[in-house]
Structure 1
Amino acid sequence: MSRTPAARRSPYAVRAGTWALTLLLLTACGSGSDAAVGPHAARATATGSAGVAGPQAEGGRAAPGPRAPRAVPRAIPALGPRTTVEIPADSRQALVVTGDSYDSSLSSAVLYTRDDPALGWRAVTDRWPARNGLNGWTDEHWENDLRTPTGVYGLTSAGGLLDAPGTMLPYSQNPAFTVGGEGFDGEPLAGSFDYVIAIDYNRVPGGSPLDPQRPLGRERGGGIWIHVDHDGPTQGCIALPENRMRELLQLLDPAKKPVVVMGDAEGLER
Structure 2
Amino acid sequence: MTQKNEIYVSADGTLRWQGKTYPCALGKGGVVEDKTEGDGATPTGRYRLKRVLYRADKMTRPECALNVTEINATDGWCDDPTHPAYNTQVTLPFAASHEELRRTDNIYDIIVVMSHNDNPPVPYKGSAVFFHLARDGFTPTQGCVAITEEAMRDILKTVTDDTYMVISL
Shared fold per TM-score greater than 0.5:
yes
C-alpha distance after superposition, 1:208-247 (max 9, x if no partner):
xxxxxx6212x11111111010131100000001101111
Unaligned runs of 5+ in 2: 76-100
Task: State the alpha-carbon separation in 2 of the partners of residues 251 and 193 from structure 1.
Answer: 20
Task: State the alpha-carbon separation in 2 of the partners of residues 245 and 165 from structure 1.
Answer: 9
**Using CA pairs below 8 Å that are at least 6 residues apart, which structure has the higher relative contact order?**
2
Q: What RMSD, in angstroms, separates the aligned Cα atoms of the two structures?
A: 1.6
Number of the residue aligned with 1:191 = 106
- Residue 143 of structure 2 corresponds to residue 246 of structure 1: no
TM-score relative to the length of structure 2: 0.75
- Residue 58 of structure 2 corresponds to residue 151 of structure 1: no
Task: State the alpha-carbon separation in 2 of the partners of residues 174 and 158 from structure 1.
Answer: 10
Number of the residue aligned with 1:173 = 70
Task: State the alpha-carbon separation in 1 of the partners of residues 155 and 103 from structure 2.
Answer: 21
**Greater share of helix residues, 1 or 2?**
1
Runs (4 or more) in structure 1 with deviation over 2 Å come to none
- Name the SS of the counterpart of 2:112 in structure 1: strand
Task: State the alpha-carbon separation in 2 of the partners of residues 198 and 92 from structure 1.
Answer: 20
Task: State the alpha-carbon separation in 1 of the partners of residues 125 and 29 from structure 2.
Answer: 16
**How many positions carry a matched residue from both structures?**
137
Structure 1 or 2, whichever has the larger Rg, is 1
- Residue 9 of structure 2 corresponds to residue 97 of structure 1: yes
User: Of 98, 105, 118, which residue of structure 2 is paired with 1:203?
Assistant: 118
- Name the SS of the counterpart of 2:36 in structure 1: coil
What is the identity percentage for the equivalent residue pairs of Structure 1 and Structure 2?
A: 23
Number of the residue aligned with 1:72 = none
Task: State the alpha-carbon separation in 1 of the partners of residues 68 and 10 from structure 2.
Answer: 26
- Name the SS of the counterpart of 2:35 in structure 1: coil
| CA drift at 1:154 | 0.8
| AA of the residue aligned to 1:95 | I
- Name the SS of the counterpart of 1:158 in structure 2: strand
Task: State the alpha-carbon separation in 1 of the partners of residues 21 and 63 from structure 2.
Answer: 22
TM-score relative to the length of structure 1: 0.48
User: Of 122, 135, 152, which residue of structure 2 is paired with 1:216?
Assistant: 122
C-alpha distance after superposition, 1:129-155 (max 9, x if no partner):
101000101101000001000011111
Pairs within 5 Å for 1:1-270 = 75-76=1-2, 92-100=4-12, 107-112=13-18, 123=19, 126-162=20-56, 163-175=60-72, 176=75, 177-180=101-104, 190-204=105-119, 215-217=121-123, 219-231=124-136, 232-254=139-161, 257-264=162-169
Task: State the alpha-carbon separation in 1 of the partners of residues 61 and 156 from structure 2.
Answer: 8
| CA drift at 1:178 | 1.6
Contact 1:195 1:246 in 2 (8 A): no
**Greater share of strand residues, 1 or 2?**
2
